A and B are shown apart, each in its own frame.
Chain A
Amino acid sequence: MNESSALIARLKRIATTGMPTQGDGRADDAWLTQGMAKAQLHEVFATVDDAASGAGFAVASVLAARAAPVMWLRTEASERQGGRLHATGLVEMGLDVTSLVLAVVEDEADLLRAAADAARCHGLGTLLIESWGRAPKIDLTATRRLMLAAEASGVTILSLRIGAETVPSAAASRWQVAACRSRPLEADAPGKPAFDIELLRRRGGQAGLRWRVEWDRDAYIFDQTAFASGDPAALPGAGIPVAADRAAADDAAASVRRTG
């Protein structure tokens, strides 16, 4: 092999690292850990109907990254519209709620102020900021501040944005999460939490990728193989765009009006 072809091979290798690997074993969640680097700000978007999926994905990715303890910030509006956080349910997702601190603030301004303080606290693993609706105060400036704070303190910040439109931000990555039909258990019972995930944007990396994953609470990993095994509810293979199916789902969601 001459030198130039070796170089090309090396460049190819470099170009492919950071890209999610497709259809690999269940123990490999590199796509997530690379996408959601620690000590950065990441955004997780979900529609109002998929609020629980958004929150579930956020909690699961904290656990997959072993980034506890968690501080969860939310507003009173979230409590009203989205319901309270249910500790037993969080425990069943795999979270140790004894280390969870929940702060319910009055409005968005308080949310950002509390977030600014929490983002500087080295003792935290993850700061989860939950906001409902457009939340215009969480703008480019605010996200840039959070990003800087996260980089300085080492706290991973997840901004869970429910029912929001994407606006320019300084986040390292942006994810869209929707509920996905689970693999039913015996007697037609709903199965483990399943998510339809799209990486909308990622700083310095490939974006526009989609996965369909199942959360395995016992192993603390996202399982991609679940939907690769020819299950009728699943799509053929992980990492392959699932646009066709989602378009149908979105069509049905169009009749939904935002409540509250």
Chain B
Amino acid sequence: MRPHLFVGRAETPVAFVETMSGGVRLKALDREAVRAGLQPGLTLADARARVPELEVYEHDAHADHEWLERLADGCQRYTPSVALDEPDGLILDIAGCVHEFEGERRLAADLEERLARRGLLVRHAFGDTPDTARALARYAGAPAPDEKRAVKRLPVAALGLDEDATTALSRAGLKTVGDVMARPLATIAARFGEEAAMMIRRLDGSVKGPIIARRTVARIGVERRFAEPIARTEYALEVLAELATEAVAQLADRHEGGRRWEARLFRADGLVQRLRIETGQPTRDVALLMRLFRERIDSLADPLDPGFGYDLVRLDVALAEKLDASQLKLEGGEAQKGEVAQLVDQLGTRLGRARVRRFSARDSHIPEQAELMLPAAEAPAPTPWSAPETGEPPLRPIYLFDPPQPIESMMAEVPDGPPHRFRWRRTVHDVAHSEGPERIAGEWWRRQDIPTRDYYRIEDRRGRRFWIFRHGLYSEMEAPRWYLHGVFA
């Protein structure tokens, strides 16, 4: 759906079409088009003949779904439990959520008003179960004094059966849901299938269908509503800090700390802005959280725009882990580690987690694969690095080129020896000292065709130390190439 199409437009009928096997057919229509006598399912050619001024758009089910998702996001201001009723419905579980609105009717009025601002026309209904609410909203029956009777007066189509079954029910003289309910369930099940019987039991309230909420409800969530929308981001952040303090108090009661936090700023016009942060260690430090939220805001591609103001701010703790009070009293080395961990979180939030790394040893003898750089926030248990041998100079460079840089060997070398002179980055280096070869074979159990590398540690006449290798043995290939893999201190 493209809501902008429906706001303040000239009254031209609009239709969405879908290409099907039988040609291009109408899929959805606006009010004007319906008034002009069109129906979904008509071929486009027919529709054009009847209403020449018809505006036609390709139907995009995916975009519709996305739009519905966004509306559902917005509806989370009323209740955390919102389910999609595809293709054009939403089911809200408002049990226990209406106190903010002094009754469900006020809540519905608020919702309708908000959606109307977006150009949406909605029909709503309340029900004891999701199914009755859904049926009452989607189908119109004769007026009734209460919910039970209203359901009974709905047309049989409200059972949501396939077309054949619905027609068969009407032919049998069963026009309303109440007519069907009056029959023994076993007969209905035998004639129209188990599905029909199930639906009736759901509508009369004897079985409650579940609401499949879109997102799992966070274990701890705090929120603040404003009668007047607040237009300053700075103030919204102050509110967020208050909420964080509340959430932290709840976490403290459970001896937990939050690791994943999500703040949602609901704008008065229905847009929701999300801020997600994550810490490497569970935390209950409000100052730290606020610093991370500010980092997150600074790193947003689109700056936070309050628009007409925020009327609801919500903070959820999406992931909490054990954090005992005693662990907060860090001392000495632990306090130091804690501070570094905070710095890692802070930089990770701003720069991206992958940019802040720690080294981790890996079991491979291929130099460039022997170590991993992991996001520091993921904090793997420190792996022991093999200690260097006493008295030896460093045998591995401190800077490693990946991929290795080709060098030009300029003086004929003795077979299986290093070059006497080579050119790297347009500079000629004369080799004064060298050590090698250190032979590093390819991981032949992974791939067969990797040539062996012969590594040499060399020093040129100016004292620069390099790590070079010949890619391949003379027996393996005719003219193996030389590469510079790293530089030593």
A: residues with CB less than 8 A from B are 49-53, 55-57, 59-60, 69, 71, 82-94, 97-98, 100-106, 110, 113-114, 117-118, 121-124, 178-182, 184-185, 187-196, 215, 217-218, 249, 252-253, 255-257, 259
Instruction: Determine the chain B residues whose CB is within 8 A of the CB of A84 once the complex forms.
Output: 399-402
B residues 210-225 touching A (CB-CB < 8 Å) = none
- Shortest Cβ distance from B334 into A: residue: A123
A256–B423 CA distance with the chains assembled, in angstroms? 11
- Whether A50 lies near B464 (C-beta < 8 A) is yes
- Shortest Cβ distance from B335 into A: residue: A123
- Whether A52 lies near B489 (C-beta < 8 A) is yes
Is B435 close to A, CB under 8 A? Answer: yes
Is B346 close to A, CB under 8 A? Answer: yes
A242–B486 CA distance with the chains assembled, in angstroms? 28
Is B382 close to A, CB under 8 A? Answer: yes
Instruction: Determine the chain B residues whose CB is within 8 A of the CB of A249 once the complex forms.
Output: 462-463
Instruction: Determine the chain A residues whose CB is within 8 A of the CB of B388 once the complex forms.
Output: 91-92, 94, 217
Closest 10 CB pairs of A and B: A56-B489, A123-B339, A189-B435, A92-B394, A83-B399, A52-B487, A86-B400, A190-B459, A98-B382, A87-B359
Select which of B344, B371, B382 is within 8 A of A86 by beta carbon: B371
Asked, given contacts A180-B463, A190-B434, whether A82 binds B355 with beta carbons under 8 Å apart, the answer is: no
Instruction: Determine the chain B residues whose CB is within 8 A of the CB of A105 once the complex forms.
Output: 351, 355
- Whether A89 lies near B385 (C-beta < 8 A) is no
- Whether B357 lies near A179 (C-beta < 8 A) is no
Instruction: Determine the chain A residues whose CB is within 8 A of the CB of B335 once the complex forms.
Output: 123
Instruction: Determine the chain A residues whose CB is within 8 A of the CB of B396 once the complex forms.
Output: 86, 88-89, 91-92
Instruction: Determine the chain A residues whose CB is within 8 A of the CB of B488 once the complex forms.
Output: 52, 56, 89, 190, 193
**CB-CB contacts of B432-460 with A at 8 A, as 1s and 0s?**
11110000000000000000000001110
**Size bracket of the B interface:** 35 or more
**Chain A interface helix/strand/loop/mixed:** mixed
Provide a sorted-by-A list of 23 A–B residue pairs whose CB atoms are within 8 angstroms. Answer: A51-B399, A52-B399, A55-B489, A83-B401, A83-B402, A84-B399, A84-B401, A84-B402, A85-B399, A87-B359, A87-B361, A92-B394, A98-B385, A114-B350, A123-B338, A179-B463, A179-B465, A185-B393, A188-B433, A190-B433, A218-B391, A249-B463, A253-B462
**CB-CB contacts of B322-355 with A at 8 A, as 1s and 0s?**
0000000000000111111011101100110001
Instruction: Determine the chain A residues whose CB is within 8 A of the CB of B398 once the complex forms.
Output: 52, 55-56, 59, 85-86, 89-90, 93
- Whether A103 lies near B400 (C-beta < 8 A) is no
Is B358 close to A, CB under 8 A? Answer: yes
Asked, given contacts A55-B489, A86-B486, A255-B427, whether A182 binds B465 with beta carbons under 8 Å apart, the answer is: yes
B residues 393-420 touching A (CB-CB < 8 Å) = 393-402
A114–B348 CA distance with the chains assembled, in angstroms? 10
A178–B489 CA distance with the chains assembled, in angstroms? 10
Is B35 close to A, CB under 8 A? Answer: no
- Whether A97 lies near B489 (C-beta < 8 A) is no
Select which of A91, A104, A122 is within 8 A of B385 by beta carbon: A91
- Shortest Cβ distance from B388 into A: residue: A92
Is B103 close to A, CB under 8 A? Answer: no
Asked, given contacts A84-B402, A105-B355, A181-B432, whether A193 binds B489 with beta carbons under 8 Å apart, the answer is: yes
Is B239 close to A, CB under 8 A? Answer: no
Is B425 close to A, CB under 8 A? Answer: yes
- Shortest Cβ distance from B465 into A: residue: A190
Is B373 close to A, CB under 8 A? Answer: yes
Instruction: Determine the chain A residues whose CB is within 8 A of the CB of B399 once the complex forms.
Output: 51-52, 55, 82-86, 89
A93–B394 CA distance with the chains assembled, in angstroms? 6
Q: How distant is A94 from chain B, measured CB to nearest CB, in Å?
A: 8
Instruction: Determine the chain A residues whose CB is within 8 A of the CB of B401 once the complex forms.
Output: 83-84
Is B479 close to A, CB under 8 A? Answer: no
Q: How distant is A123 from chain B, measured CB to nearest CB, in Å?
A: 3
